[in-house]
Amino acid sequence: MGKATSLFDLTGHVALVTGGSRGLGLQIARGLGEAGARLMIVSRKGAELRGALHQLQGEGLDVRAFTADIAQPTEPARVVSSAMEHFGRIDILVNNAGATWGAPAEHHPLDAWDKVMNVNTRAMFLMCQQVAIQSMIPRSDGRIINLSSILGLAGSRADRPSIAYNTSKAAVINFTRSLACEWGRFGINVNAIVPGIFPTRMAKHAIENEGMEAMTRNVPLGRIGGDDDLVGTALLFASAAGRHITGQFLAVDGGVTALSPI
């Protein structure tokens, strides 16, 4: 293995991935595991989680699963404590768990707003806090990767309203930058991935309603994200290759955010 290649090697590292049972979280977990990391994947849906666990173990990866609803304020501490008990350390935290709700702003239910904010921002904060306290700050080392969205950089079309989701994902970006500034002194790098359109469960409704041609019309690369398209960015932020990168966000969107609306 050459020096450049070895920068991406995660052998011996431990990664905790929330929302790791499907979609983008599963993609990232697999990529980190293939780079050598030992994994704990977390989800509130036990059946999905068991399926992902068996799938990753069948691929030869060292992985454990933990069922938890991290939107509940006591659960992040329990998740992190379990990971620490089994692995003894957490080197990489991937905050991928997310929720959305589609409703016009003038009719958006308050309980739905709270649900989205609790999962997408409060749970992220609590996961970061617990991982830092229990593992990263004592060791003066760690990598945190937060998942935002291109909808955190701009508003949605009026026929696709998602005010709470968009607001929460914008908050993730400045949360990432603020935390990086605070925790750099502890040797903790904090960065965000900003995905564009991927065939996730959240995007499925829009893809089915509008068709793939319409969904990719304004994507310069002419396609939606695929099964491996977040892995490179995750490895960069998680590994020694990204040791001097913190407080940044990178859009993985096929060029959508580079395109002028005019």
pLDDT exceeds 90 at position 88? yes
Same domain, 147 and 27: yes
On whether residue 258 sits in a domain, the answer given is: no
On whether residue 112 sits in a domain, the answer given is: yes
Same domain, 93 and 164: yes
On whether residue 88 sits in a domain, the answer given is: yes
Q: What pLDDT is attached to residue 212?
A: 82
Same domain, 144 and 50: yes
On whether residue 95 sits in a domain, the answer given is: yes
Q: Over the stretch 253-262, which tens digit does the pLDDT of each residue have?
A: 999 999 988 7
Q: What pLDDT is attached to residue 260?
A: 84
- How far apart are alpha carbons 207 and 227 in whole angstroms? 16
The domain that contains 121 carries what CATH number?
A: 3.40.50.720
Single out the residue of 79, 35, 33 nearest to residue 58, CA to CA. Answer: 33
CA dihedral sign, ordered 123, 14, 192, 136: positive
| Average pLDDT of span 215-221 | 90
On whether residue 178 sits in a domain, the answer given is: yes
On whether residue 98 sits in a domain, the answer given is: yes
Same domain, 201 and 104: no
| Average pLDDT of span 61-71 | 97
Same domain, 182 and 204: no
pLDDT exceeds 70 at position 252? yes
| Average pLDDT of span 202-220 | 79
pLDDT exceeds 80 at position 2? no
- How far apart are alpha carbons 246 and 148 in whole angstroms? 15
**Catalytically annotated residues:** 165
Same domain, 93 and 144: yes
Same domain, 243 and 166: yes
Kindly indicate the confidence band of residue 119, based on its pLDDT and cuts at 50, 70 and 90: very high
pLDDT exceeds 70 at position 1? no
Same domain, 123 and 223: no
| Average pLDDT of span 239-260 | 97
Same domain, 107 and 221: no
Number of domains in the chain: 2
pLDDT exceeds 90 at position 175? yes
Same domain, 103 and 157: yes
- How far apart are alpha carbons 6 and 18 in whole angstroms? 26
Give the DSSP letter of residue 141: -
Other CB atoms within 10 Å distance of the CB of residue 226: 10
156: containing domain: 13-195+235-249
On whether residue 254 sits in a domain, the answer given is: no
Same domain, 21 and 140: yes
- Between residues 177 and 157, which one has the greater pLDDT? 177
Average pLDDT, the chain: 95
> For residues 239 and 10, is the Cβ–Cβ distance under 8 A?
yes
Dig out the tokens for 261 from the structure: 């609306």
Same domain, 92 and 218: no
pTM recorded for the entire structure: 0.95
Q: Over the stretch 92-109, which tens digit does the pLDDT of each residue have?
A: 999 999 999 999 999 999
pLDDT exceeds 80 at position 146? yes
On whether residue 168 sits in a domain, the answer given is: yes
